[in-house]
Structure 1
Amino acid sequence: MPVFQLHNGVSFMHEVKEFASDLSLYGIPYQECEHWLEVGDCESRNNFVLYISVLSQQAQSLLHQVLPLLKEYAVSYRLLKNDRLVDQSNGLTLGIKDAGKVIVIYPCHAKQARQLARELEKVTGAFQGITPYDSLRIGKVLYTALDTGISYHIPAAYRNKRRKGIIGKYYIPVKLLRFNPKGDIYLGVNIKQFAFSHCIIKQARAASYIDRYGRESVHKLFWQKSVLEAIQHELPVPQVIDFCSKGEDHYLVTSYINGQVLPEQLRDVYQTRIWRELGVMDKARILSYFLQITETIARLHELGYLHRDIQINNFIIREDKVYLLDFELAYYMPAGTPDPPFGYGTMVFMSPQQRQSEQPRVEDDIYSLGVVLAFMILNPADQESFSGNIYNALVNAGLEAVLLEVVINCLDPDPVNRPSLSSIITLLKTGDIPEKIELV
């Protein structure tokens, strides 16, 4: 099962394949727009959109099958600029809503959409891709938006099936908590020995993702199980219950932590206020969460692990205790495993070095902690609005100078200049924070 050691220190950087050259090869004019190459008028939207999903290692081959057909139909479309962006999209780094949408096609009308879908299915049947968010599968790697009003012929193999029955021998999924193209997360009931207790069932969907080293979603899920088993008696994390399979899919079953994710907890504290309007006790409560987070990461590092996906949705608060989740991207420093590390993370929380797939280091987690602290102070409505000039936003929110310095230093582009976790912990515990904020 495990595929944790592949190259023994050999660089895992690869030459990026730019897709502009493929468009030029077929004489197709295009414009660049952020991380897209756009052909035709991609601003006029309609209800007939089609998506093509493909793995990064197959993307260029798929283009040579698809581009002549799209040129013949004279439709507008956009595609990701290169295979690195395809990797990032499939890895959810560009956001779950855009994951897997490597090519987005805008047919002019319903009849053209049906005709083009039939032709595309003929030339894309040999490829693989992940399942895009909020979409209907109508071919091997072909999808459309939900509720288009168009009746497509969908082969039986691609029709959506409701998952029923028991996972493994004892686990019944009762509620979908989060859709993920690579595998969903369910709230379940554990009926082993008539316990009837809640559990979390995390899926690795078969053939949903393959990285350029041949590792699939199941390998990341099994790695998470291994990490949790190594640290679960040392840190506030979910406890491993089981690892099992059903059909070709695999599942990690862990204990259920009945609490609120960090953003929900913050909204309860802030209500309609901003940082400068909070009382001392509310500020102390928020900083106590951040102190717990920092101490947990420090202990994780002492155990030899980097987390590499420290972001606000990976913390659950239960009775003011912070629990850390999601260890699929973790890296074990003493053994250098996985080698190469599993890729990417959550874009806005990643250090510049992690975005460039450099060798993992402690300072990557410290950078992410700085972003988490900024988020906790600004309390944005969502991650999409958490962008722009964070420094000015923190100043406008009334953040005390000593805490502002922590954020600035954590986000220093040069890892050498980032503070140690011990210095952050000391500051939070004993530092002269203005307004005499005392941690609870």
Structure 2
Amino acid sequence: MLQYPSLEKAFELPLKENDKLLKASGVKFIDDHIWLRSGEFRATHGWLIYLSVRTASLQALLNDILPILKDGNTPFRIIRNEHEAYRLHAGLYGPHLIGKGIQFHARTEGEGRHLIDRLLPLTGTYAGCIIQDCIRISNIIYAQEVSNRIPQPTKAPFPFTVEKKYRKPASRKFVGLFYLPVEELNYSPKSTIYKGFNFKRPFKWCLIKQGNSHTGDDHFGRDIRDKLRWQKKVIKALEAHVRTPKFIDLAEYEAFSFLVLEYVDGVHAGQWLEQIRQGKTWKDLGTDTKKIILEVYLSILSLVKHMHDAGYVHRDINERNFIIDGGRRTYIIDFEMACCLHDGLPDPPFTLGTIGYMSPEQMSYMKPHFGDDVYSLGALLAYFLTGELPERIFFGEMYTVRGKLQEYAVESRLADLIIKMTDTNYLERATMNMAINQVEDLITFYL
């Protein structure tokens, strides 16, 4: 009997190619890896002018700026297509490139000023994510000076006119009415995590997740704000069934969203594992330590099983999305990618996940199913036993996985379980109950 029904595509993406648009319009360019490049785009001096636009609006913007692209006066490079734009905005080519899908090289201040004057009336209706390392000139135009000289302190004024509302960074001490960010815990171009003080409940800490403007956009017009709104719904639905930080508030203003959650004093599973292993391999760990690691892993399996029982699949299981407190209690977090299988929401599901942990079906945009999480949990078990990120273990053909696990002296029963949980054929993959039962049996081996 098959454990999962046959899967279908969750959606089809008719991704557009930018080279076709440019060719049809007579714009001259050459292919350059993920870029379409015109002119000698070697930014060793002058100014880089960026247009940060959401993926879904990329071709509309290109249509509007075609006169500038066609005249060939300013070297440029443009992301090759919508697929690559999506990857670029997700940070897969590095955080330094997020938002920089359209780039111009102005060799002088005068050239840059002339270009910006032409771009301003063509770009006023568009939106995009904030580029962190540049000066913002308008809603989507940014500038960055480049030089092949050794940087020298300078008091030279910025040569381009900045719209008034972007001249000074917005300062806001409180999130909403009651929550004060105190300590930055983690930063990424998509979001910033703060430990905060909850003045609504004095002497209580909270966790504040700030979704940065227009980041994490997809082909359906959604971005990080939509993901945080969805996460609020999932937490409220699950917090009675699963150990997870409780929802407190969702504050939104301008293009930012702030998800406020209960603060759990602990570390993520990757940090906890480093602390308990103390640099030792699985082979060199004592029996008691091995048993503790497997018990924590079993608690993670149980959390995900409770989530499945409530009708939800997580779809972004990795070592950072479980918090372990001082009493070795485990909490599951970060439900932005989650799906409710009972009502098929969100429709379409949010895409991407964590490389190395994603099932083949998830990477192929198939409809979500519980087997996605089983695969990710198998990858997580490999991480728990080897300390290596799964992309290093599962890169290449699956038949090499056993050999890689043997290099870390992982016992054959554990290796068998990992291979069964990460079977690329979802019809042959282990079920959650099978995984739980086998880990329970393995723990008794270390008693």
What TM-score, normalized to structure 2?
0.81
In the TM superposition, 1:70-89 aligns within 5 A as: 70=69, 72-73=72-73, 75=75, 77=77, 79=79, 81-89=80-88
User: What is the SS of the residue equivalent to 1:416?
Assistant: coil
Contact 2:128 2:213 (C-alpha < 8 Å) held by counterparts = no
Residues 79-118 of structure 1: pairs in structure 2 closer than 5 A: 79=79, 81-91=80-90, 96=95, 98-105=97-104, 116-117=115-116
Q: For the residues of structure 1 that align with 2:194 and 2:405, how far apart are their CA atoms?
A: 36
Q: 1:348 to 1:143 in 2, by over 3 A?
A: farther
1:197 aligned to which of 195, 204, 213: 204
RMSD over aligned CA atoms reads: 3.5
Equivalent in the alignment of 1:5? none
Q: Deviations over 1:49-70 (max 9, x none)?
A: 4443221211112223446535
Q: Confirm whether residue 282 of structure 1 aligns to residue 282 of structure 2.
A: no
Change (3 A) 1:321 1:10: closer
CA contact (8 A) 1:93 1:347 kept: no
The residue aligned with 2:194 is 186
* 1:437/1:339 CA distance change after superposition, 3 Å: same
Q: Compared with structure 1, are the counterparts of its residues 297 and 10 closer, same or farther at alpha carbon in structure 2 (3 Å cutoff)? A: closer
Pair 1:418 & 2:417 matched = no
Change (3 A) 1:292 1:163: farther
Distance in structure 2 (CA, Å) of the matches to 1:146 and 1:260: 39
Q: Which residue of 2 aligns with 1:3?
A: none
Q: How far, CA to CA, are the matches of 1:259 and 1:429 in structure 2?
A: 25
Equivalent residue of 1:300, what SS? Answer: helix
| 1:131 lines up with 2:130 in the alignment | yes
Deviations 1:226-246 (A, max 9, x none): 211121122120111223344
The separation in 2 between residues aligned to 1:116 and 1:287, in whole angstroms, is: 60
Distance 1:374 1:41, change over 3 A: farther
Q: 1:84 to 1:378 in 2, by over 3 A?
A: same
Moved more, 214-223 or 14-23: 214-223
In the TM superposition, what whole-angstrom CA distance separates every residue of 1:50-92 from its partner, at most 9, and x where no partner exists?
Answer: 443221211112223446535624525351x321333344355
**Cα separation, partners in 2 of 1:124 and 1:398, compared to 1, 3 Å:** farther
Q: Which amino acid aligns with 1:288?
A: E
> Which residue is 1:343 aligned to?
351
CA distance in 2, matches of 1:430, 1:357: 35
Alpha-carbon distance, 1:29 to partner: 3.8
1:376 maps to a residue whose letter is F
Superposed displacement of residue 199, structure 1:
0.3
Query: Equivalent of 1:333, from 341, 344, 348?
Result: 341
Q: 1:146 to 1:189 in 2, by over 3 A?
A: farther
- Flag the 1:206–1:75 CA change in 2: closer, same or farther, 3 A: closer
Between Structure 1 and Structure 2, how many residues are aligned?
424
Whole-Å separation in 1 of the counterparts to 2:284 and 2:47: 48
Query: Aligned equivalents of 2:39 and 2:429: distance in 1?
Result: 45
The correspondence for 2:228, drawn from 209, 221, 224, is: 221
> Any idea what SS the aligned residue of 2:294 has?
helix
Distance 1:23 1:303 in 2: 49
Aligned: 1:243 with 2:250: yes
Matched, 1:364 2:372: yes
- For 1:186 and 1:147, locate their aligned partners in 2 and report how far apart those are by CA, in whole Å: 32
| Alpha-carbon displacement from aligned partner over 1:88-127 (angstroms, at most 9, x marks no partner) | 4435566655433323555557765565455444533332
Please tell me whether Structure 1 or Structure 2 has the larger radius of gyration of its CA atoms. 2
- 2:266 aligned partner: 259
Change (3 A) 1:28 1:162: same
- What are the Cα deviations for residues 165-200 of structure 1, in whole angstroms up to 9, with x where unaligned? 32222111122333354553322101125x132101
Deviations 1:237-283 (A, max 9, x none): 01112233445644321111111122222222333333333333333
Counterpart residue type for residue 418 of structure 1? R
Letter in 1 for 2:77: Y
Q: Give me the whole-angstrom Cα distance separating, in 2, the residues matched to 1:97 and 1:420.
A: 40
Which deviations, in whole Å up to 9, do the C-alpha atoms of 1:345-367 show, x marking residues without a partner? Answer: 23332222222322111111112
| 1:197 counterpart letter in structure 2 | K
**Which residue is equivalent to 1:6?**
none
User: Which whole-Å CA distance do the structure 2 matches of 1:384 and 1:131 have between them?
Assistant: 30
Q: Are the counterparts in 2 of residues 209 and 217 from structure 1 also a CA contact under 8 Å? A: yes
Instruction: Determine the C-alpha separation between the residues in 2 that align with 1:206 and 1:404.
Output: 43
Change (3 A) 1:278 1:330: same
SS of structure 1 residue aligned to 2:125: coil
**Aligned residue for 1:355?**
363
Instruction: Give the residue type in structure 2 aligned to 1:347.
Output: I
- The equivalent residue for 1:163 is 171
Within 5 A, what are the aligned runs for 1:59-78? 59-66=58-65, 69-70=68-69, 72-73=72-73, 75=75, 77=77
| Cα distance change on mapping 1:413 and 1:173 into 2, 3 Å | same
**In the alignment, is residue 402 of structure 1 matched against residue 413 of structure 2?**
yes
User: TM-score, structure 1 length as denominator?
Assistant: 0.82
- Show CA shifts across 1:316-337 (max 9, x none): 1212222111112211111111
Name which of 267, 292, 316 aligns with 2:323: 316
In 1, the alpha carbon distance for the partners of 2:204 and 2:305 equals 32
Q: Is the 8 A contact 1:138 1:152 kept in 2?
A: no
- Measured after TM superposition, the shift of residue 416 of structure 1 is 1.0
What corresponds to 1:55 in structure 2?
54
Please list every run of 5 or more consecutive structure 2 residues that lacks an aligned counterpart in the other structure: 1-7
Q: Distance in 2 between matches of 1:267 and 1:105?
A: 44
8 Å CA contact 1:98–1:133 kept in 2: the answer is: no
Q: Which residue of 1 aligns with 2:3?
A: none
Contact kept in structure 2, 1:201 and 1:251, CA below 8 Å: yes
1:128–1:140: 8 Å Cα contact kept in structure 2?
yes
Separation in 1, partners of 2:411, 2:107 = 55
Q: Which amino acid aligns with 1:401?
A: S
Q: Distance in 1 between matches of 2:168 and 2:269?
A: 33
Give, in whole Å, the separation in 2 of the partners of 1:283 and 1:224: 34
- Percent identity, aligned pairs only? 29
Equivalent residues of 2:178, 2:198 under 8 A apart: yes
Q: In 1, distance between residues paired with 2:135 and 2:394?
A: 31
Q: For residues 227 and 387 of structure 1, do their structure 2 counterparts lie closer, same or farther at Cα, with a shift above 3 Å needed?
A: same
Higher deviation after alignment, 24-33 or 415-424: 24-33
Structure 1 residue ranges without an equivalent (≥5)? 1-8
